[in-house]
Structure 1
């Protein structure tokens, strides 16, 4: 996903907590109908005749096995997205099986690779020049990662890339659902702490791997972390059983395997590049980014801390839409911002402070709802203990290191991997990989 430039705005009247953001759907699609009666479906926000739709639309039917021919030329939709039909070919090599998701960058489709006889995911980038340029940078990053990731276990693997009808197409291995989508399918029920430990270890190993290559991801979040497998197991939900929730299911799904990989390197930057602009999705954005102090590797570690809390609780830690409220939430959960960072805040961030020192809260709040949202947040220690039974003390200590305001003091990825939360003997609990 491209770097996000976000301005402040007040909460709309219909904004109700908890705030859940629209996300890409990486769920496993249903199987295709048999080839003899394959239904072709146009997938786009705008069909070539100008009719706008957000859903699949029946278009053409044909019988027999599709031939390896190019589909008819269609103009892109109004946003530069490629317009396609299920069952068509994307070059003679790839046959489109389903649409997997859509984002700022373009669309992701599931395809059958007629050459290697395997299912792949193809990212079809919008035809606008800025997205094409960003895609070429992402390809450069992916190739660098693949060159050094000998085991192929840390980041999604690039298979191929090509330029098709003015769309950069990047071919990836097919993976399972994102951690966010897995949480969503379980009504945002949290993961067991031992699974969180396994997931956290892999996330930090991947981040350390990238940092060793002098790469900064800048957009770490649950929807950019994919399970390798879609298989899951059904287990009793003891938290629901203990409180007999009304209408709640007494079972929840857990991944059968804890193996994960990072995806979406469209915002990844090299160490030597400009680090002054706004990066990261709002809820996972580090304080130095908001204050305009510049950023570097530590911004990824702040995001990892936010992800670990979300996996433990089921909900994003900082569910906010504007900077002042975001900083107020940080102070409520973690304590006051250090004065040396406040003093150095850039001109755009000065308005968040009274007389250049104290956060302008609650005086500067945009609504009573915003004030309540900040007020009801617990301290970090209390939040963790609400959701974690054993290992709570070690997790709190790890999170305090990842959430240090000053990026120079924040825990590094390899330092975090040596923390007792990961190194202690937890065999009596364990999680099956």
Structure 2
């Protein structure tokens, strides 16, 4: 088999800028065929045999002249190539006539803990953050389904299906892509480190569903299988979904992507806060949210499960429709600005989601769990964790519902602990001594928190000083006893020592839930 040259469309002028051009119509066709041969070790392999083409005319205006291919006398000199290189060149040239449009760049994912900007916290999406509602059609995701690719004798079975993944292992989603021969995609709902969530229509039932498509990376696949196990357990123990945890409708492995199908819900609570200009929820709505969340988590704890990643992003609204109401005078801000309104939810029904990090009490506990802003002090101090870490996260969430912004806006462990002392009071002595043994770098003599360190920045010191106590954050309202009860409940959830922290089950019996619903200001 002899070598081959492939004509190109490059200009001979070295100073001309490089531009993408359409393939030249005057290039010579390439003839090739597939054959089988036996290598020196006696193994059979398939190879592509490419036939020689006649040399291009040296004076042809459509042919670029390269010294590596033609000498000065214009005689044809076959380039030295391996068989693999020749095969690749043939395939690439053959595909030029149907060149695909350039791929769109994808934004890099945000860091796990996010970053603080101004008075708000920007966090990574997990898993139902607002995202573009449309995406390009005709992507590689429209390749043959698993079943079609395995069907003997089909034309699809004889060719390798194109990749349906991007370079980071995310499934490439396209409009009207049919997943697993059943779920037709409608739009992208969101994307996170775990994968993507899409809205789809179940072609068997006509029902709209959400499909969580896990990245084709071993650690995410393994975590998703744990989540499937947990979700099946929840559905088995609560078939009527009285405890408001997401229900798994179906799951399967589609082209190396674990897919979880669930009911289609509204946006997450964090997105609603963000779209509402981080204005807090009404006291009546906080009361309703608190009761549902405590009940959901108590149900998990009864099953000996710790969620470990409670946060507003993992709480979905069943119905995210709302009405607009004018702000009270003290909330309007600029006197000369246009009148502002506040979004009021029509329904406070919610669902707890994302059980990818949920852990059974008697199984392995990783050292660090929870998203930074909702992480309990015992986790920061490396003292181990259990059910109480969920209670602490719920306390942080309830304060965020009340103020509109995260309680602890930090990314440094020592700074985080210093903020906790400002909010919750000094570390109890017994708990501080245990922390000093585990993390001596955070303490000084006498088991006192070593803050501020000499290397602490001015901004860091300023942020800690600006952190208010719970009594300042949740001031009592005259004539509304539930406001004092709410403060007491949050204090008990945000207790330093997990052994002294109120359990989620006991929190459901707190006077906050036995009094009349709180009044709105």
Aligned to 1:286: 376
Aligned to 1:35: none
1:393 aligns with 2:494: no
Please give the alpha-carbon distance, in whole angstroms, between the structure 1 residues aligned to 2:315 and 2:128.
11
Give the CA deviation at 1:16.
3.9
Q: Is this contact kept in 2: 1:40–1:85, CA < 8 A?
A: yes
Instruction: Calculate the TM-score normalised by the size of structure 2.
Output: 0.70
Aligned to 2:213: 124
Q: Is this contact kept in 1: 2:126–2:314, CA < 8 A?
A: no
Tell me which of 355, 359, 373 is aligned to 1:269.
Answer: 359
1:201-240 aligned within 5 A: 201-238=291-328, 240=330
Q: Is this contact kept in 1: 2:127–2:354, CA < 8 A?
A: no
Give the CA deviation at 1:425.
2.0
Q: Is this contact kept in 2: 1:227–1:258, CA < 8 A?
A: yes
Give the CA deviation at 1:244.
4.9
The total of aligned residue pairs comes to 395
Please give the alpha-carbon distance, in whole angstroms, between the structure 1 residues aligned to 2:493 and 2:349.
23
Aligned to 1:317: 407
RMSD of the TM alignment (CA)? 3.0
1:418 aligns with 2:509: yes
Give the CA deviation at 1:402.
0.5
Please give the alpha-carbon distance, in whole angstroms, between the structure 1 residues aligned to 2:133 and 2:448.
57
Q: Secondary structure at the match of 2:395?
A: helix
Structure 1: runs of 5 or more not aligned: 33-37, 43-47, 49-58, 61-67
Q: 1:15 to 1:186 in 2, by over 3 A?
A: closer
Aligned to 1:112: 201
1:188 aligns with 2:278: yes
Q: Is this contact kept in 1: 2:383–2:438, CA < 8 A?
A: no
1:197 aligns with 2:306: no
Q: 1:123 to 1:25 in 2, by over 3 A?
A: closer
Q: 1:381 to 1:352 in 2, by over 3 A?
A: same
Give the CA deviation at 1:233.
1.6
Please give the alpha-carbon distance, in whole angstroms, between the structure 2 residues aligned to 1:255 and 1:388.
26
Please give the alpha-carbon distance, in whole angstroms, between the structure 1 residues aligned to 2:132 and 2:168.
27
1:20 aligns with 2:109: no
Aligned to 1:89: 178
Q: 1:197 to 1:351 in 2, by over 3 A?
A: same
Q: Secondary structure at the match of 1:344?
A: helix
Please give the alpha-carbon distance, in whole angstroms, between the structure 2 residues aligned to 1:283 and 1:235.
30
1:157 aligns with 2:224: no
Which has more radius of gyration? 2
Tell me which of 150, 153, 177 is aligned to 2:267.
Answer: 177
1:340 aligns with 2:430: yes
Please give the alpha-carbon distance, in whole angstroms, between the structure 2 residues aligned to 1:364 and 1:173.
52
Please give the alpha-carbon distance, in whole angstroms, between the structure 1 residues aligned to 2:478 and 2:293.
20
Q: 1:109 to 1:249 in 2, by over 3 A?
A: farther
1:99 aligns with 2:188: yes
Q: RCO higher in 1 or 2 (8 Å CA, sep ≥ 6)? A: 1
